[in-house]
Amino acid sequence: MTRKLAAVQMVSGPDVDKNMTDAAELIAEAVAQGADLVLLPEVFAALEGKPMRTHGERQDAPGSPIQEFLAGQARRHGVVLVGGTAPLSSRPGLNEDDADYLIEDGRVRASSLVYDAEGVLLARYDKIHLFDVMVEDRQSQYSESLTYEAGSEVVCVDSSAGRIGLSVCYDIRFPELYRQLFGLGAEIVTVPAAFTAVTGAAHWESLLRARAIENQCYLIAAAQGGRHGPSRETWGHSMIVSPWSEILAELDKGPGVVLAETDPLLLQDIRRRMPVADHIRLH
């Protein structure tokens, strides 16, 4: 049975309420076109403005606007919703009685949250690779580790849309993560992102297509795409890539939605004809 994937592209700003209103409209647009799975971009709810910790939420805590928004949208539309990233101030797999439950140094985790069609949280993935680099643009220096604490767990989860492997933005440069997702049986890999315009123009498409080829999976990438302030510009080009590296759908700049169908028989045929998983020699 085919499933339709939708990648939502946004140009998020400092106003969380406006960002979520914009996201809701784009989710509704994707659902109206038949989406079974909707992916939001990285930092969809808050990209610029206040320190990220001011938006930080504890996982599953009542009164958490970003998480409640995501759960409500998934439930309202009856779709699998992957919430780009949300800033979570609690660590996964712990409760309030555990000493390490809260991140105490003022940082948060960039958490990609997967909700089922009933609005139930299926999985949480915390971005492992943090973007601490120099880029030849107006911002020049990016230091995510000052704002975010890195995650450490590789996450793959079953859903009604297929088996999903989770990643975020800068992760795309680290093929060992995707090889682990391949080993865990990922059929679809999600890449919510806020790639810079400079690095996006140079590497975005090449990296996405390479990860799809290497791991024989559908790859869905939802990006930020536009100007967010005087020094921040993101590349956009949200796309869905087939296991044979075909770009099935793509959006250049600005807010919008791209959709494409998965074909499980095609996926099985590619893996049968070229059994990469059986040929791996280095681990």
Whether 164 contacts 156, CB under 8 Å: yes
Q: Kindly name the residue from 4, 57, 127, 187 that is annotated as catalytic.
A: 127
Q: Tell how many helices (H) and how many strands (E) occur in the chain.
A: 7, 15
φ and ψ at residue 252, rounded to 5 degrees: -70, -85
- Adjacent-strand bridge partners of 3: 262
**68 is known as an active-site residue:** no
What is the distance between the alpha carbons of residues 156 and 183, in angstroms, rounded to a whole number? 10
Q: Kindly name the residue from 42, 149, 187, 233 that is annotated as catalytic.
A: 42
**18 is known as an active-site residue:** no
Whether 167 contacts 125, CB under 8 Å: yes
**127 is known as an active-site residue:** yes
What is the distance between the alpha carbons of residues 57 and 53, in angstroms, rounded to a whole number? 8
Read off the DSSP letter of residue 178: H
Beta strand 80-82 with 109-115: parallel, antiparallel or unpaired? antiparallel
Q: Kindly name the residue from 169, 187, 233, 253 that is annotated as catalytic.
A: 169
Pick from 12, 8, 39: nearest CA to 25: 8
Looking at residue 170, its amino acid is Y
Ramachandran quadrant class, 144 (left: phi over 0; alpha: psi -120 to 50; beta: rest)? alpha
Structure tokens, 37: 């799975």
Whether 249 contacts 260, CB under 8 Å: yes
Beta strand 86-88 with 80-82: parallel, antiparallel or unpaired? unpaired
Which positions are annotated as active-site residues?
A: 42, 127, 169
